[in-house]
Structure 1
């Protein structure tokens, strides 16, 4: 490891059942990504049996300014927002304000009386009435019938992207966004097909309407403040801007170019439409608290957000055998098992992927997670009592970065009990 380049802090507790000696392999691998210039900086945090087992801060928050990355550095979560939105929706279910299998037409009239394309790659005018209404269960499992994927409506669906860095995105308020979505037919019957992204943004709108308050306020009052997630929000206030990591793009040649800089960040102001699918920012400690709450069946340090049964429902695989073999998901980054299909070894619950079969050196059956496209990932493993979060800020031109595979395999090789 090169001296004088990296800021690093590591800590291990043998009582966690992770070997400090074997975790050296994880240190070395993470350092390698910094040394090779593939990633500017990394923060990694592991808890096991609810004890902090490992923390590492390696590299730079801003490489050009030689500003070291720190434990309280703020990261753009992208799709790691989705599980948080899911928990918010389930809280409303547990309060009796929503029912999982009821139609959402009353709250989302823009999605009522849907028409369905006879062929997802055919004409959007060749449609027939949907066989049933869309339910909350459909939204939570991404099977409402519309979303990202290969279809003749691809460009029109892409134009609905709400996250700040999406070039297709036009700033609109949630009601306008829903109206535009409502103009489109469904690609498939509700419940028939798994399609990405759109469902979580709809969930954000649904939560705000049912709770009668903005999504950001509901999340802050009901999740962030109770759990002590003090740095999680949809925008970075001026007093915290110095802690925001620079977001880089990895070029085809292997270098890094600045994609979003703290001084000019697109996350400086609260968005007109806070994206329940990808809009939040957070720190490693904040997200670790959220994941530990789920790992502990809905409770953390005396604060309960969900019942045990709700967490079990969230982490159950709902994909049918056919959906396991026909996932319409055109992003290599999220297929971390490249030797197999997207859903050969995992299923999908409510806003999270669930491990259904052990594959090599990695998470146990029943583990759950969902990563983010800007360089963020996490896993909660109930069998091992383990919660681990890895945060960096690099957009790869291929969308896939092997550091996430290395992170997982090198955690599990360190298990010593």
Structure 2
């Protein structure tokens, strides 16, 4: 990743952009982060690249521009784009019940009361549809939330920060279909394994494993040569860290860090990919340019616009429609589209970003956003899990937008 144009030619104050470096260099120098890399692009040209620290603190290997990162939930927008290619081809419609292809979801049950050991349920009054998966309104959940009895049901079966060994995506999807839903489909928003189920749906639609579908429909066409569910070039793969209790200083965690070093049993469409800054930059540029890049079209521009629109009923934000869960950023002012958060109200969100910005992040503190109003993309990479450890995303937004002066 190299700077492609002078910041002033893209409406930035170059000296103000250096505030990004000073701010996050301090995160590394005082031990809060092992290392980081961030990329700012405007009008299709990279205007700023900042990096500091180590991709592996123990060996002293530095962060480099071709460092490979576990992007965790930044996988979700990629899987969502893959699903929308099938919508564009007329294979499936956003309102279709997923049980047409995943019969295990033919009769979902919804939690009403009781404990994780003895939940009381009722039949779902609405089938789970494709748009429910894309918007996290299906009623599914994550075991790591620790806020609802159904979360504990997931954990008891081995679904907290991963999936049980030996189970592929098809087997995991069948298991999730047997668990109660947290609410009636379409009635609330809850961050969940919905995108993993979406990945399984994509497998069935394509008749091939998810890794092959993503390679054929996204990675190959866009030239994302370093993105996949694992990498052979483990010397370039950053080590993964978690905060030490009390000090929050990074401590290496090789159990989590094993992700990405070998082909997984389960191709997690919700969180399993590794990638580089250069590769993901190409993905965000494709989105910013309405679905095409360098003469290759992945999606139509109207499809991208639909994905980047708030699909929550009445254009409410996640604070009104979502459940109060672990998250780095507040939900005020942010809605949700088909695979992305969508900024509805910058004032309510207390951010300098533009209405219509769409974004998401990963559990190890990675993040990206696309701002069509400012013709801007930004991405940040590090490997500290969970992302709620430090307010990186809010701070990065402030530092980027204060440097725009046109």
Counterpart of 1:113 in structure 2 is 107
Q: Does 1:393 align with 2:391?
A: no
Q: Distance in 1 between matches of 2:157 and 2:136?
A: 16
Q: Please, what TM-score do these two structures have when normalized by structure 1?
A: 0.89
* Cα gap change, 1:17 to 1:157, in 2 (>3 Å): same
Counterpart of 1:37 in structure 2 is 31
Q: Pick from 352, 363, 367 the counterpart of residue 362 of structure 1.
A: 352
Q: Is the 8 A contact 1:120 1:187 kept in 2?
A: no
Counterpart of 2:148 in structure 1 is 151
Q: Does 1:379 align with 2:374?
A: no
Q: Is the 8 A contact 2:169 2:268 kept in 1?
A: no
* Cα gap change, 1:122 to 1:260, in 2 (>3 Å): closer
Q: Does 1:139 align with 2:137?
A: no
Report Cα offsets for 1:211-254 as digits up to 9, x if no partner.
001000010111001111110000111xx111011111121213
Partner of 2:18: helix, strand, or coil? Answer: helix
Counterpart of 2:400 in structure 1 is 411
Counterpart of 1:16 in structure 2 is 10
What is the Cα-based RMSD across aligned positions, in Å? 2.3
* Cα gap change, 1:167 to 1:222, in 2 (>3 Å): closer
Q: Is the 8 A contact 1:119 1:187 kept in 2?
A: no
Q: Distance in 2 between matches of 1:120 and 1:353?
A: 32
Q: Pick from 151, 162, 174 the counterpart of residue 179 of structure 1.
A: 174
* Cα gap change, 1:294 to 1:160, in 2 (>3 Å): farther
Q: Distance in 1 between matches of 2:82 and 2:3?
A: 33
Q: Distance in 2 between matches of 1:159 and 1:302?
A: 48
* Cα gap change, 1:162 to 1:275, in 2 (>3 Å): farther
* Cα gap change, 1:416 to 1:98, in 2 (>3 Å): same
Q: Distance in 1 between matches of 2:163 and 2:227?
A: 25
Q: Distance in 2 between matches of 1:323 and 1:255?
A: 31
Q: Distance in 1 between matches of 2:241 and 2:357?
A: 30
Q: Distance in 1 between matches of 2:310 and 2:282?
A: 24
Q: Is the 8 A contact 1:139 1:203 kept in 2?
A: yes
Report Cα offsets for 1:96-140 as digits up to 9, x if no partner.
111110111121101112222334868855332222211101111
Q: Is the 8 A contact 2:79 2:270 kept in 1?
A: yes
Partner of 1:289: helix, strand, or coil? Answer: helix
Q: Please, what TM-score do these two structures have when normalized by structure 2?
A: 0.92
* Cα gap change, 1:253 to 1:137, in 2 (>3 Å): same
Q: Does 1:214 align with 2:209?
A: yes
CA drift at 1:297: 1.1
5+ unaligned residues in a row in structure 1: which ranges? Answer: 1-7
Matches within 5 A, 1:200-349: 200-237=195-232, 240-251=233-244, 252-260=246-254, 265-320=258-313, 321=316, 324-333=319-328, 336-337=329-330, 342=331, 344-349=332-337
Q: Is the 8 A contact 2:248 2:389 kept in 1?
A: no
Q: Is the 8 A contact 1:161 1:168 kept in 2?
A: yes
Counterpart of 2:340 in structure 1 is 352
Q: Distance in 2 between matches of 1:254 and 1:324?
A: 28
* Cα gap change, 1:368 to 1:159, in 2 (>3 Å): farther
